[in-house]
């Protein structure tokens, strides 16, 4: 909490520093431009101490006046208005600020400051000075409102992205919470079938299940794991299933060494393997085999899970785990991720997952 508050304070301080830096530089440029006009039209001899003092007075007055005008805009929350009402309010306020600024400047240079060589006060000149300041403040206001509008637009985009990210993370958590009970239900059924007939195998299954559950809850749904970490849990899962199949399940891994360190969503390969067993091998009287392989081509990682069986002419088999996996791929990788489930030969089915390498 303290770190968050400190970060917020530092951010606000940085914004204030940037604001005052831009504010000061802007009015300094205006003052230097005004002094240069003295030299251009009046020659170097016109750049007297009195002229510099007058311009310094104008600089301080306009710097202060524009700052309080900014505070007034923020207090009234004018930047939330539409263009027409905002423009009318700003123009009216600028006129008031310009008149007030010239009144203060004339009061200072004619009454309070020791400035010599001044011409007598002229109301016509006063109006001309007001118009000049009015024009300058219009430019200042335009720049200020434009900058704030850009910042507001960027803030809105950031908030939209943060909201989208939060919704996606929540959706990922929902999908993961659907996957875990589904897997746990299958695993507990396996234990129930063996607990009275083969206690040694039942204990072995409990060990593998504990490893699997520890893995499945260890990673947040939005995180990724290395392919090597995922394969360790796949190996545990297949050892567990081979007990249930009474050694009618054979499996082999062909994992490219270049892919072991690549990151994938947790439970991705395990779900492909689970789907292969549930919808493929479980209906084979003689059991069968599962082959898990990975490869990398440029910036793409391809994972294939091949098993004994056939899809047939009916609807392709996809359990809730596969459907959730596909949804997770869409959230994490958008349209770049690809999933295919097809007959790869006359007696095998292959599930392929192709994802971009981040």
Domain boundary assignment for the chain: 2-121, 169-356
Question: What phi and psi values does residue 301 have, to the nearest 5 degrees?
Answer: -110, 130
Average pLDDT of the residues in 46-63: 88
DSSP one-letter code for 317: P
Token digits of residue 270: 């395990």
* C-alpha separations of 183 from 25, 270, 321 in Å: 65, 10, 9
pLDDT digits (tens, 9 = 90+) for 194-222: 787 778 877 877 887 787 777 766 665 55
> pTM value?
0.50
Element (H, E) at 107: helix 83-107
Task: Return the pLDDT at 188.
Answer: 77
Asked whether residue 261 carries a pLDDT value surpassing 70, the answer given is yes
* Cβ within 8 Å of residue 159, ≥6 positions away: none
Residue showing tokens 């507001």: 152
- 291 forms beta bridges with 252, 306
Which residue, among 148, 128, 108, has the nearest Cα to 19 in the 3D structure? 148
Asked whether residue 79 carries a pLDDT value surpassing 90, the answer given is no
Token digits of residue 267: 């439970």
Asked whether residue 4 carries a pLDDT value surpassing 50, the answer given is no
Asked whether residue 131 carries a pLDDT value surpassing 70, the answer given is yes
Choose the weakest-confidence range: 8-12, 76-80, 142-146: 8-12
Give the number of C-alpha atoms closer than 13 A to the C-alpha of residue 113, restricted to the C-beta side. Answer: 21
What distance in Å separates the CA atoms of residue 258 and residue 227, rounded to the nearest whole number? 10
Task: Return the pLDDT at 241.
Answer: 76
What distance in Å separates the CA atoms of residue 350 and residue 317, rounded to the nearest whole number? 12
DSSP one-letter code for 323: H
What distance in Å separates the CA atoms of residue 68 and residue 100, rounded to the nearest whole number? 12
- The answer to whether 57 and 108 have CB atoms below 8 angstroms apart is yes
Token digits of residue 264: 């994938």
CATH number 3.40.50.300 given to 169-356: no
Which residue, among 214, 211, 193, has the nearest Cα to 202 in the 3D structure? 193
Average pLDDT of the chain is 81
Task: Return the pLDDT at 111.
Answer: 84
Q: Is 233 exposed, middle or buried (0-12, 13-18, 19+ CB in 10 A)?
A: buried
Asked whether residue 8 carries a pLDDT value surpassing 60, the answer given is no
30 vs 248: which has the higher pLDDT: 30
Residue showing tokens 């958008």: 334
DSSP one-letter code for 117: S
DSSP annotation string for 162-214: HHHHHHHHHHHHHHHHHHHHHHHHHHHHHHHHHTTT-HHHHHHHHHHHHHHHH
- The answer to whether 117 and 149 have CB atoms below 8 angstroms apart is no
Q: Is 355 exposed, middle or buried (0-12, 13-18, 19+ CB in 10 A)?
A: buried
Token digits of residue 39: 């030299």
Which residue, among 90, 28, 36, 96, has the nearest Cα to 63 in the 3D structure? 28
* C-alpha separations of 63 from 11, 12, 28 in Å: 23, 21, 9
């Amino acid at each position: 909490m303290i770190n968050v508050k400190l970060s917020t304070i530092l951010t606000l301080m940085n914004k204030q520093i940037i604001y005052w830096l831009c504010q000061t530089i802007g009015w300094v440029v205006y003052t230097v431009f005004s002094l240069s006009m003295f030299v251009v039209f009046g020659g170097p001899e016109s750049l007297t101490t009195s002229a510099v003092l007058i311009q310094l007075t104008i600089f301080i007055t306009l710097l202060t006046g524009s700052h309080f005008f900014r505070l007034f805009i923020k207090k009234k929350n004018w930047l939330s208005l539409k263009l027409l009402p905002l423009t009318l309010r700003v123009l009216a306020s600028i006129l008031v600020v310009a008149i007030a600024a010239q009144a203060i400047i004339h009061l200072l240079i004619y009454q309070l400051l020791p400035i010599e060589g001044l011409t007598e006060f002229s109301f016509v000149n006063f109006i001309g000075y007001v118009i000049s300041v009015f024009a300058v403040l219009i430019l200042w206001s335009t720049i200020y409102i434009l900058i704030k509008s850009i910042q507001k637009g960027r803030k809105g985009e950031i908030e939209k992205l943060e909201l989208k990210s939060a919704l996606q993370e929540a959706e990922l958590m929902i999908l993961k919470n659907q996957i875990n009970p589904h897997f746990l239900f299958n695993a507990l059924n396996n234990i129930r079938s063996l607990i009275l007939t083969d206690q040694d195998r039942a204990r072995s299954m409990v060990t593998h299940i504990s490893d699997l559950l520890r893995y499945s809850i260890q990673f947040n749904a939005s995180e990724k794991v290395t392919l090597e970490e995922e394969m360790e849990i796949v190996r545990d899962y297949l050892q567990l299933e081979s007990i249930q199949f009474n050694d009618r399940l054979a499996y082999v891994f062909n994992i490219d060494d270049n892919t072991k360190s690549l990151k994938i969503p947790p439970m991705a390969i395990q779900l492909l393997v689970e789907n292969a067993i549930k919808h493929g091998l479980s209906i084979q009287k003689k059991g069968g085999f599962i082959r898990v392989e990975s490869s990398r081509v440029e910036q793409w990682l391809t994972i294939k899970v091949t098993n004994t069986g056939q899809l047939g002419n009916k609807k392709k088999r996809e359990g809730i785990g596969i459907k959730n996996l596909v949804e997770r791929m869409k959230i994490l990788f958008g349209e770049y991720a690809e999933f295919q489930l097809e007959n790869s030969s006359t007696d095998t089915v292959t599930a392929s997952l192709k994802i971009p390498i981040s």
